Each structure stands twice: as C-alpha cells, then as structure tokens.
Structure 1
Amino acid sequence: MSVKKHIPNLLTLLNLFCGCIAIVLVSDFNFEYAFYFVCLGIFFDFFDGFFARKFGVAGPLGVQLDSLADMVTSGVAPGYTMVYLLSGMTFHMPLADYLPYLGFIITLGACYRLANFNIDTRQSDSFIGLPTPANTLFIMSLPLVLQYQGDTFWGDLLVNKYVLLSITVLSAFVMNAEIPLFSLKIKNFSVAKYKLQIGFVFFSVALIVLLKVVAVPLIIVSYVLLSVLNTIFSKKELA
C-alpha cells in the first residue's frame, strides 16, 4: 500500500483537527490562538490538494473529505466566532436573545458554498464567489482587531451589532454570489501574465507592515473589490 496515497487525506484531517481546536479556543475567548489554528488549518487545506495532484491520487473521497473538513474550519469556527461577537463577548447569552445566533448565517452560507463548489465545474482555475477560507480569515480577524484596536474607529465599528449583523449577511452572500474572483495561483512566473496577482501580493504585504492585524479584513475586502474591477475592465477591453 502506497504511503503517498494517504498523505493528502491526512493533511485534510489535520485541517479538520485545527478547526476543532479553534472552536474550543473561541469558547475560551482565546481568539488570537483560534485565528492561528484556523490559519494552520487553511495551510493544510491548501497542501492536501497540492499533494493529491502531485502524487496523482486525487479522487472522490478526497473531494468529499476536503469539504467536510472545511465545513468545520471555515464554516462552524467563523460562525461561532460571530455568535460571540454579536453577544458582546459574554458567556451568558439568554435564549430569548436570538440576535447572536444569527452569526451562524455564516456557517449556513459556507455549507451551501462548499456543496455547490463540489458540483460547479467552472471553478478549476479561478473562483466564483469568495472562497470559504478567505471569508474565514476575514471573520476570525475581527476579534483581534477589536482586541488590539478597541479604542479606535475600527474598534468602535465592531462593537456595533448592526454592523456585525451586516457583515454576517454580506459574507454569506459574497461566498455564494456570482462574482468572478481572480486566482492567486501562479503556475509559471510571468510578470506580464500575473501582474494583478503579483501587485496584490505586494499590496497585501505593505498593508500588513503598516496596519498589522487590521490589514487582514482590509486585504480580503480589497481582493473582492479588485476582482470586481478586473472583471469590469476585462469586459470593456473585449467589447
């Protein structure tokens, strides 16, 4: 039995394991380490597909396993995080206060996207709608922005429940919207061919250096906006 055959699925299970740990950490209000474990899970999620293609062992089991693991790391974890943000970061949420539970709209949106992704043949080289890992990084970074920028404009914004609810609904929508997003995969180094991707990477690094944790949600928003502008200008060039 070839060991290579099991490496991609092992990485997928490690993604799931990291997602489970992240959920426990969110319950303990340890949002920083929850963010780190989600990042680690997304790292494993990227490389399971990479090794499956490299070793020629991609199959239907891996596809289904990948979606199930993503459902926890990039579905339940961010939804659960939003529940706590909407609750005002308290353990004691009365059942009558239904608003915080609307945070799980993110989980529902991620579930629908993951199921649809498995049957959508258009998303092999690029994405239509925001990928669940990108949305997860956005949501999981919000408590850190609140933690480190609580006395700034960003902190004031993220304690407003209406803003958080708007983010919740919008994120579920963007994951499933018919919005073409440019791929960040660079298959061969060509500045002319991948100038948008390369420019976006440099832009992202600059934002992280300047703004630190605040940069994470801004990078995800910029990714969506740049993709929309790229689609508009590409259509104009073809017209």
Structure 2
Amino acid sequence: MSITKHVPNFITSLNLLCGTLSVFTAFHGMLMEASLLLFLASVFDFSDGFAARILKAYSPMGKELDSLGDMVSFGLAPMVMLHMMLFKVVLGSYEADLFAQNIPTQLLILSPFVVTVFSGLRLAKFNVDTRQSESFIGLTTTATGMFLASLAFVFDNGSGWLFDLLQSQWLLLAFVPVFSFLLISEIPMFSLKFKSFGLMGNVDKYTLLLASLFFLIWLGVGGIAITIALYVCFSLVRLVVGRA
C-alpha cells in the first residue's frame, strides 16, 4: 500500500495527540494552553478529511480513528476545562481538595463529564446515521468543544466582560444540560461546506462567516463561542421557519 494512504490517519493521530495533551494541561489548571492545543486539534480534525478526499485514501479504520480522536479532543478535553473552571469558581483555587467537600458540591463540579457521555452518544449516532452526509442532526462534538475551549481561554486570560460572566457557577453549570441536549437533539444544523461560492443558497454561511470575523476582532478568541452560539440560533430559526 502507498504511504500516501496512511497520511489521513497520521493527521487524525495528531488530533488525538493534541486532545490528550489538552486533557493533561487542563487538569493542571493551564486552561489557555489546553485551549490552544484543542484549537490545533481542530485544525488536524479538518485536515484529515481534506487529505482523505485529495488522496482518495478513505478507509473503515480512518472513520473509526476519527471518532476516537474526536471523543478525546472534543468529547473529553473541553469537559475537563469546564470542570476546572467550575473547580476554580466554586472552590476558589485549583489546589483545593475536591473530596473534602460535601457530596452535592462534588457532583456539581464533576457534572461536566456528563456531557462527555452525550458526546460519545453523538459520535456513535453520527457513524450510523445516513441522514448526516450533507448536513448535521444535532450540534457536533467539534463545535461543542470549540465553544468551551474558547471560553476556557477567556477564563484563563482573566479580563473583560465575558470573563466576568464566566465567574458565575450557574452559567457554567447551565452548559451541561444545554450541550447534553444539543448533542443528541434532532435539530438540523446546516453544514458550513460550500458546494459553490455564489450567494444563492449560501446566505446563512456568508452571514455567519462575516459575524465570526466581527466577533473575533471584537472579542478575540472569545468570539469563537459567540459565533457558535449564533450558529445554533441560525439553525433553530431555519427549523422554525421551515415548519411555519
């Protein structure tokens, strides 16, 4: 077999490696570094599919490896970040003893890992759901991970109004049921892949891209989270209008 056939799997393995290192750094309270590693993992996650198309190197193993990589990078690492944010907000320090707290507090701080379970369900569902070849049903694990990673970056940066919002344990906790639901929901989420570059049929995509540019300039990395929230809102509006 030509060595080019292994290129996509090698890129996917880099996604998995970055996700694993992101978990490690997040558990050590290095949320900015963990976020950057996750952003790098997302680049590899995009690139492996692109490489597979260019090289015509699709394989059943590649599909399974991609899901395993996404499970670590976008199903586990971002939840460790959310867990550590809750740890800091609720207990005041990363060095606090979690198991010296009462059981409700422990459960509260550990609750983000519930989303990891739903991420696994989402990935398993995607692998067998033939409806998701052109668009998505439910929010992707990648989008969920990028949302939380961008907020973790802001949280570790320690300034701005978005940072102030993230000091609320109730806001952080709200992400658990919201993302658990979105990951396995039947809400159609439009794909950002362009079949053509004309305006017809791509209004939502161009609007989202322009909005993301605006939010990134305004908020920096935190703009990623706002863009993903807007993406979910666009998808919900399309669903409601389509049913009207």
- What is the TM-score when the length of structure 2 is the normalising length? 0.90
1:93 aligns with 2:97: yes
Contact between 1:82 and 1:168, CA under 8 Å: does it hold in 2?
no
1:20-49 deviations in Å (ceiling 9; x for gaps)? 111121122221221111111111111211
What residue identity is the alignment partner of 2:32? Answer: E
CA distance in 2, matches of 1:214, 1:47: 23
- Matching residue of 1:146: 155
Q: Distance in 1 between matches of 2:169 and 2:31?
A: 18
Aligned to 1:21: 21
Contact 1:78 1:106 in 2 (8 A): no
Counterpart code for 2:153: L
**1:213 maps onto 2:221 in alignment:** yes
Gap runs ≥5 in structure 2: none
Aligned letter for 2:18? C
Q: Deviations over 1:173-224 (max 9, x none)?
A: 1111111011100122111121211121011101111122331211111000
8 Å CA contact 2:85, 2:155 repeated in 1? no
Cα separation, 1, equivalents of 2:153 and 2:69: 24
Residue 155 in 1 paired to residue 159 in 2?
no
Q: CA RMSD in A?
A: 1.6
Give the letter aligned to residue 34 of structure 1. A
Matched residue, 1:118: 127
* Counterpart contact for 2:26–2:34, Cα < 8 Å: yes
* 1:137 partnered with 2:146: yes
**CA separation in 1, counterparts of 2:209 and 2:10?**
29
Say whether residues 1:47 and 2:56 are aligned partners: no
Alignment partner, residue 109 of structure 1: 118
Distance 1:112 1:55 in 2: 30
Deviation at 1:56, TM superposition (A): 2.2
Q: Which runs of 5+ in 1 are unaligned?
A: none
Separation (CA, whole Å) in 2 of partners of 1:56 and 1:179: 31
Paired letter, 2:143: A
Deviation at 1:151, TM superposition (A): 5.9
Aligned to 2:236: 228
| Aligned counterpart, 2:203 | 195
Separation in structure 2 between the aligned mates of residue 36 and residue 159 of structure 1, nearest angstrom: 21
- Post-superposition offset of 1:82: 1.3
Q: Partner amino acid for 2:25?
A: L
How many residues are paired up? 235
Identity among equivalent positions (%) equals: 34
Distance 1:199 1:163 in 2: 27
Q: Which runs of 4+ in 1 moved over 6 A?
A: none
Distance 1:151 1:184 in 2: 30
Residues 158-177 of structure 1: pairs in structure 2 closer than 5 A: 158-177=166-185
With the length of structure 1 as denominator, give the TM-score of the two structures.
Answer: 0.92
Distance, in Å, in 2 between the alignment partners of 1:93 and 1:176 is 34
| Cα distance, 1:149 vs structure 2 | 5.3
Maintained 8 Å contact 1:39/1:137: yes
